[in-house]
Amino acid sequence: MISAHPKHIAIIMDGNGRWAKARHLPRLAGHNAGAKAVERTLKAARKYGIAFITLYAFSSENWSRPQEEIDGLMKLLSKTLQDYTKTAAKENIRLWVSGEREPLPPALLTQIDEAIAATAQNTGLTVNLALNYGARQEITHAINAAIAAGEKDISPDTLRRYFYHPDLPDPELIIRTSGEERLSNFLLWQAAYSEFYFTPVLWPDFDETEFEKALAAYQNRSRRFGGI
Ligand code: FPP
């Protein structure tokens, strides 16, 4: 059965550190190269008419990295956001963010809020940045919010209404680069029926060709959703 292109692709962008290490460069050089791969990937996603793309930019667990790397990543995110705001306006891209605000730097939060507001009316690709994101945190956040709202007898559909973005469709395809084959607390709920695509390619080397390979692999999968 040939499936249409996925509506939502989620990506675990892994391998920046190993890419840098192989070149005797600091880890941040790997993240910088990773930001360029993000740009290429978003271009490819637009070309193929993908509606939503979620990028795992910083996990709730990434705070355990050395402070220098955390600071560098926050700076890079801020710079990328700044550069990308112009592209977003031109290319009709909408920015969403999934994750907890605390303890992200206040200046970055302001910048994010402005970018979200500035792109809210755009109708092209939605780029959902998973930032300070953890799936267990998202699920427990939703349970607490549902209880606070007075919900009784919570069903899966009720809970979904309290996720960071209730209107974000489940990803049909989840890509992880760098040869690791695990979810690492990413979209645990939403991944119930996702197809997984793992590639040994390190994130900074990911490009349109690799994106096309992932799409082709997806199209060869037979999705049955528990049926036959
Ligand atoms: C994983 O590689 C990557 C990250 C924790 C950060 C992802 C960030 C970027 C791709 C940079 C910019 C992002 C955006 C959205 C502009 P790793 O450091 O865990 O690599 P390793 O496993 O080889 O050490």
CA distance 85 to 168: 21
**pLDDT averaged over every residue in the chain:** 96
Q: Is the CB of 38 under 6 A from ligand 1?
A: yes
| pLDDT, mean of residues 106-128 | 97
Percent of the chain with pLDDT over 70: 99
Report the SS3 class of residue 176: strand
| Average pLDDT over every residue of 22-42 | 98
Q: Is the CB of 28 under 6 A from ligand 1?
A: no
User: Mutate which of 25, 31, 181 to test ligand 1's pocket (most atoms within 8 Å of Cβ)?
Assistant: 31
Counting ligand 1 atoms within 8 A of each CB, the residue from 16, 28, 175 with the most, and so the one to mutate, is 16
**pLDDT tens-digit readout, 170-203:** 999 999 999 999 999 999 999 999 999 999 999 9
Mean pLDDT, residues 112-133 taken together: 97
Q: Catalytic residues, which ones? A: 14, 62
* Ligand 1 atom closest to the CA of 77, numbered from 1: 16
- Measured in Å, residue 206 CA sits from the centre of ligand 1 at 12
Q: How far apart are CA 73 and CA 70, in angstroms?
A: 5
What is the average per-residue pLDDT within 40-68? 98
103 Cα–ligand 1 center, Å: 19
Flag whether pLDDT at 17 surpasses 60: yes
Q: Is 93 in the pocket of ligand 1 (CB under 6 A)?
A: no
Q: Is residue 204 within 6 Å of ligand 1 at its C-beta? A: no
Give the closest residue (by CA) to ligand 1 atom 16: 35
C-alpha distance across the termini of the chain, in Å: 12
Q: Which of 14, 56, 85 to mutate to test the pocket of ligand 1 (most atoms within 8 A of CB)?
A: 14
* pLDDT score of 82: 93
Separation of CA 35 and ligand 1 centre (Å): 8
pLDDT at position 1 over 70: no
Residues 137-155 pLDDT 10s: 999 999 999 999 999 999 9
pLDDT of residue 123: 97
pTM for this entry: 0.96
In the Cβ-directed half-sphere of 165, how many Cα atoms lie within 13 Å? 22
Residue 48 in this model has a pLDDT that exceeds 70? yes
Backbone region of residue 179 per phi and psi (left: phi > 0; alpha: psi in -120 to 50; beta: other values): left
What's the pLDDT band for 3 if we cut at 50, 70, 90?
low
pLDDT at position 5: 92
Grade residue 228 by pLDDT with cuts at 50, 70 and 90.
confident
Q: Is 175 in the pocket of ligand 1 (CB under 6 A)?
A: no
